[in-house]
Amino acid sequence: MASVDTTTNAGQLLAAASGGRRRRGDRIFSRTAVLAALTVLLLLAGVAIFLLSEGYPALTASASELPQGKTFLDYVAPLAFGTVLAAALAALVAVPLAVAAALFITHVAPPKIALTLGYLVDLLAAIPSIIYGLWGIFVLGPAAVPVMKWLEEKLGFIPIFEGPASVTGRTMLVVGLVLAVMILPIVSAVAREAFAQAPRRLQEGAQALGATRWEMIRMTVLPFGRSSVISGAMLGLGRALGETMAVTIILSVSGAVTFNLISQANPSTIAANIALNFPESSGLAINALIATGLVLFAITLVTNMGARAIIARANQE
Amino acid sequence: MESSVQTADAFGPDQPSRLLASGLGWRRRSVNTLMMVLIAGAFALAMIPLFSLIFEVAKRGIPGLSAEFFTEDARGAIGGAGGASHAIMGTLIITAVASVISVPIGIMAAIYLNEYGEGRLRRALTFFVDVMTGIPSIVAGLFAYALFEIFFGPGIRLGVMGSVALSLLMIPIVIRSAEEVLKIVPNHLREAAYALGTPKWKTITKVVLPTAFAGLVTGVMIAIARIVGETAPLLVTTGVVDSMNTDPFNGRMQNLAVYAYNEYRSPGVMKQASYDKAWAAALTLIAIVMILNIAARLVYRRYKTEIR
């Protein structure tokens, strides 16, 4: 449609336009594009710079000036521990499920419904995190209480299930499960893309040689998608590290540093700690929270850059 | 799950795979069946939360929905009275301002990447856009706060701060989707325009962008759907308030996500009424997100340019 009138326009232009005017238009437009590109880079640099400048006072402050009377390192360490624990738990649960879901969509389900199934998985990513939080505390948490009671009784000898089991469901285990649901679509999307691109020749060859469908998947599809699955897992991990509202709402925090997943006393996470304390804080406490944000930014940055590097290398091969 | 080998259709109706399968060892066959069941089971397991979530939000959200919810704010409201109109309006304004910031920057940056970019700047932008998609939303909020604090002093809360925070999350999504769409505009269209002597910027604005228009709109709608429910960055930038505020540059501004969080976190005297409102706000948010997603698909299907 548009190309039709453009053709005539262009013809007139060619006849009428002086070279100088055309070049000026080009110059303005291309500079605007470069400007937009630079703005984006500047914005990212700005994140680091402003967090650093507003977080710096807390990094240098003495213990007595900071919240809880601890030095910044002592303040952030348990939070970082909680952040990594929750995210690792989520990734541990989500990655196998996501890989299986991706395999189901690409290689097991009838091709006719595969697209719809993929859309359903993507839908999980569209749901706002606040709603996952409400679902976690009102639905999954209460449902998990008897399960955690059972875990304490039967598997209590394992430190992570030591208990005493929470009666409200506001535990690290529930948080990990909710985060797992939240990152599943990301991991699954990356895996799906790779599995769908696995070379057909190899798959057909394997089947021609009499491999079962599982053998075909294990020998041709999985090895092909391995690096994508790893990078997808890291992207999911990065998302789980920074996830705020679900943790803020669900987790009952005490600041304890523990691997115990089913008790009422849990370490908080960096993001949840900010969301819980920022609105009512002032002065140096704000600086301290921003500095913890900087630590979170650094952790997620390293995780994501690692994931991207793996993807880039896999694409080259 | 069938344990038989998938066959190419070329083998015809004789189904040699059945013959092959019957010759398979019991072990291999049962391993195959087991794995297929596990894979299908894992998928089903992953879907349970989705259906449970949508079901619960609908079930618990509907009681809180009323005309009042959409028409009144919560100023001075006690005992379960009051609505969320201020939060709905706030969500609309904050999201609109964020879009006004993000869409031009995002699309121009995508044009740079696809039409102009080369060398180090292009590589850097591609890489850092990927990095940007991974920024935790709370960090985006802290960034906006730190930025405005320098100019307006500590404790500052404005609607536009939330928009800036959301822009940081929205820009990389817009760039990614716009880049994908621009990439599939065939080169022969550009070449035809050049051959007619059209300058590059006119080629882009009159040929490339109109061809990609439906895809661009779809991408922007999906980006809006992604940020409209963000809570954490707004919690630290726009503040909490009970009354209507339509000026993003002056004073605190409520929004649906923070409203839902607040009704849950600090319920009023009538706890259940507050929870009902939190769920009603959640339902409204999910409805907005779903409508945006579906509308984005419809726009694409209806208006996409057929490229031959």
Q: Is B154 on the interface with A (CB under 8 A)?
A: yes
DSSP string, A28-80: HHHHHHHHHHHHHHHHHHHHHHHHHHHHHHHHHS-GGGSGGG--HHHHHHHHH
My answer on whether A6 and A151 are in the same domain is no
Tokens at B72, concatenated: 């009144």
Residue B23: the pLDDT is: 60
| B203, part of any domain | yes
My answer on whether A253 and A194 are in the same domain is yes
Out of A77-91, B65-79, B126-140, which region has the weakest mean confidence (pLDDT)? B65-79
- The single-letter DSSP state of residue A253 is B
Residue A239: exposure state from Cβ atoms within 10 A (0-12, 13-18, ≥19): buried
My answer on whether B73 and B47 are in the same domain is no
Please, are residues A136 and A53 in contact by the beta-carbon 8 Å criterion?
A: no
Q: Which residue of B has its CA nearest to A288?
A: B142
Better-predicted residue by pLDDT, B156 or B268: B156
Question: Alpha carbon of A198 to those of A231, B22, B43: distances in Å?
Answer: 16, 28, 20
What's the total number of domains in chain B? 2
Q: Mutation test of the interface with chain B: which of A44, A175, A204, choosing the one with the most B Cβ atoms within 10 A? A: A44
Residues of chain A positioned with their CB less than 8 A from the CB of B60: 138
State how far the Cα of B162 lies from the Cα of B245, in Å rounded to an integer.
Answer: 14
My answer on whether B228 and B290 are in the same domain is yes
Please, are residues A217 and A153 in contact by the beta-carbon 8 Å criterion?
A: no
My answer on whether B55 and B125 are in the same domain is no
State how far the Cα of B112 lies from the Cα of B116, in Å rounded to an integer.
Answer: 5
Q: Which residue of A has its CA nearest to B174?
A: A40
ipTM: 0.86
- Cis peptide bond N-terminal to A164, omega within 30: yes
| B233 pLDDT more than 90 | yes
Residues of chain B positioned with their CB less than 8 A from the CB of A7: 192-193, 196
My answer on whether B270 and B239 are in the same domain is yes
My answer on whether A212 and A309 are in the same domain is yes
State how far the Cα of B239 lies from the Cα of B267, in Å rounded to an integer.
Answer: 17
Q: Is A299 on the interface with B (CB under 8 A)?
A: no
Q: What is the mean pLDDT of chain B?
A: 88
Number of C-beta neighbours around residue B241 at 10 A? 23
Q: Is B217 on the interface with A (CB under 8 A)?
A: no
Question: Alpha carbon of B117 to those of A62, A316, B228: distances in Å?
Answer: 48, 21, 31
Q: Which of B57, B72, B73, B79 is nearest to B274 (CA)?
A: B79
Please, are residues B240 and B254 in contact by the beta-carbon 8 Å criterion?
A: yes
My answer on whether B289 and B192 are in the same domain is yes
8 Å CB contact of B109 and A39: yes
For CA atoms B201, B206, B211, B215, give the dihedral sign.
Answer: positive
Please, are residues B285 and B226 in contact by the beta-carbon 8 Å criterion?
A: no
Question: Alpha carbon of A314 to those of A224, A226, A231, B221: distances in Å?
Answer: 10, 9, 10, 31
My answer on whether B120 and B238 are in the same domain is yes
- CATH number for the domain spanning B193: value is 1.10.3720.10
Q: Residues A244-252: what's their mean pLDDT? A: 93
Q: Is A4 on the interface with B (CB under 8 A)?
A: no
At residue A205, the 3 state secondary structure works out as helix
Please, are residues A248 and B235 in contact by the beta-carbon 8 Å criterion?
A: no
Q: Which residue of A has its CA nearest to B40?
A: A104
- CATH number for the domain spanning A95: value is 1.10.3720.10
Ramachandran region, residue A260 (left: φ > 0; alpha: ψ -120 to 50; beta: rest): beta
| B1, part of any domain | no
Residues of chain B positioned with their CB less than 8 A from the CB of A238: 134
My answer on whether A100 and A178 are in the same domain is yes
What's phi and psi for A266, nearest 5 deg?
Answer: -130, 155
What's the total number of domains in chain A? 2
| B154, part of any domain | yes
**Closest CB to B134 among A132, A184, A304:** A304
Q: Is B301 on the interface with A (CB under 8 A)?
A: no
Q: Residues A249-270: what's their mean pLDDT? A: 88
| Unique residue bearing structure tokens 């939070």 | A79
My answer on whether B215 and B272 are in the same domain is yes
8 Å CB contact of B136 and A1: no
8 Å CB contact of B130 and A28: no
My answer on whether A36 and A66 are in the same domain is no
| B176, part of any domain | yes
What's phi and psi for B163, nearest 5 deg?
Answer: -65, -40
My answer on whether A19 and A149 are in the same domain is no
Residue B80: the pLDDT is: 72
My answer on whether B255 and B197 are in the same domain is yes
Q: Mutation test of the interface with chain A: which of B1, B53, B103, B292, choosing the one with the most A Cβ atoms within 10 A? A: B53
| B4, part of any domain | no
Helix, strand, coil shares, percent, chain B, to 5: 75, 0, 25
Residue B231: the pLDDT is: 93
Q: Mutation test of the interface with chain A: which of B5, B7, B138, choosing the one with the most A Cβ atoms within 10 A? A: B138
Please, are residues A183 and A239 in contact by the beta-carbon 8 Å criterion?
A: yes
8 Å CB contact of A3 and B50: no
- The single-letter DSSP state of residue B24 is S
Q: Is B42 on the interface with A (CB under 8 A)?
A: yes
How crowded is the C-beta side of A68, counted as CA atoms within 13 Å? Answer: 14
**Closest CB to B168 among A10, A43, A282:** A43
| A55, part of any domain | no
My answer on whether B53 and B72 are in the same domain is no
My answer on whether A102 and A242 are in the same domain is yes
| A224, part of any domain | yes
Residues of chain A positioned with their CB less than 8 A from the CB of B115: 33
Q: Is A40 on the interface with B (CB under 8 A)?
A: yes
State how far the Cα of A289 lies from the Cα of A295, in Å rounded to an integer.
Answer: 10
Residue B50 belongs to what domain range?
Answer: 9-62
Please, are residues B303 and B110 in contact by the beta-carbon 8 Å criterion?
A: no
8 Å CB contact of B47 and A207: no
**Closest CB to B142 among A129, A293, A300:** A293
At residue A266, the 3 state secondary structure works out as strand
Q: Which residue of B has its CA nearest to A212?
A: B5
Q: Which of A86, A88, A59 is nearest to A75 (CA)?
A: A59
Residue B79: the pLDDT is: 67
8 Å CB contact of B29 and A212: yes
Residue A299: the pLDDT is: 94
Residues whose CB is less than 8 angstroms from the CB of residue A315 and which lie 6 or more positions away in sequence, other chains included: none
Residues of chain B positioned with their CB less than 8 A from the CB of A80: none
My answer on whether B153 and B293 are in the same domain is yes
Q: Is A179 on the interface with B (CB under 8 A)?
A: no
My answer on whether A24 and A92 are in the same domain is no
Ramachandran region, residue B80 (left: φ > 0; alpha: ψ -120 to 50; beta: rest): left
- Radius of gyration in angstroms for the set of CA atoms belonging to chain A, rounded to a whole number: 26
Q: Provide the pLDDT confidence category of residue A65 given band limits of 50, 70 and 90.
A: confident
State how far the Cα of A124 lies from the Cα of A98, in Å rounded to an integer.
Answer: 12
My answer on whether A25 and A88 are in the same domain is no
Residue A29 belongs to what domain range?
Answer: 2-50
Q: Is B131 on the interface with A (CB under 8 A)?
A: yes
State how far the Cα of B283 lies from the Cα of B280, in Å rounded to an integer.
Answer: 5
My answer on whether A25 and A99 are in the same domain is no
Q: Is B66 on the interface with A (CB under 8 A)?
A: no
8 Å CB contact of B46 and A97: yes
Residue B77: the pLDDT is: 72
| B161, part of any domain | yes
| Unique residue bearing structure tokens 């900071």 | A66
State how far the Cα of A50 lies from the Cα of B148, in Å rounded to an integer.
Answer: 10
| B200, part of any domain | yes
What predicted TM-score, i.e. pTM, was given to this entire model? 0.88
Q: Is B279 on the interface with A (CB under 8 A)?
A: yes
Q: Which residue of B has its CA nearest to A27?
A: B201
8 Å CB contact of B235 and A300: no
My answer on whether B51 and B198 are in the same domain is no
| B3, part of any domain | no
State how far the Cα of A310 lies from the Cα of A240, in Å rounded to an integer.
Answer: 19
| A236, part of any domain | yes
| A6 pLDDT more than 50 | no
My answer on whether A238 and A257 are in the same domain is yes
Q: Provide the pLDDT confidence category of residue A260 given band limits of 50, 70 and 90.
A: confident
Q: Is A2 on the interface with B (CB under 8 A)?
A: yes
Q: Is B150 on the interface with A (CB under 8 A)?
A: yes
| A309, part of any domain | yes
Q: What is the pLDDT of residues B65-93, one digit of tens each?
A: 888 889 888 887 776 778 899 999 999 99
Q: What is the pLDDT of residues A143-178, one digit of tens each?
A: 999 999 999 888 888 888 887 888 888 999 999 999
| B11 pLDDT more than 50 | no
In chain A, which among 83-142 make CB contacts under 8 A with chain B? Answer: 96-98, 100-101, 103-105, 108-109, 117, 120-121, 123-124, 126-135, 137-140
- Radius of gyration in angstroms for the set of CA atoms belonging to chain B, rounded to a whole number: 26
My answer on whether A7 and A114 are in the same domain is no
**Closest CB to B36 among A50, A108, A133:** A108
Q: Which residue of B has its CA nearest to A26?
A: B201
Q: Provide the pLDDT confidence category of residue B21 given band limits of 50, 70 and 90.
A: low
Q: What is the mean pLDDT of chain A?
A: 87
My answer on whether B30 and B126 are in the same domain is no
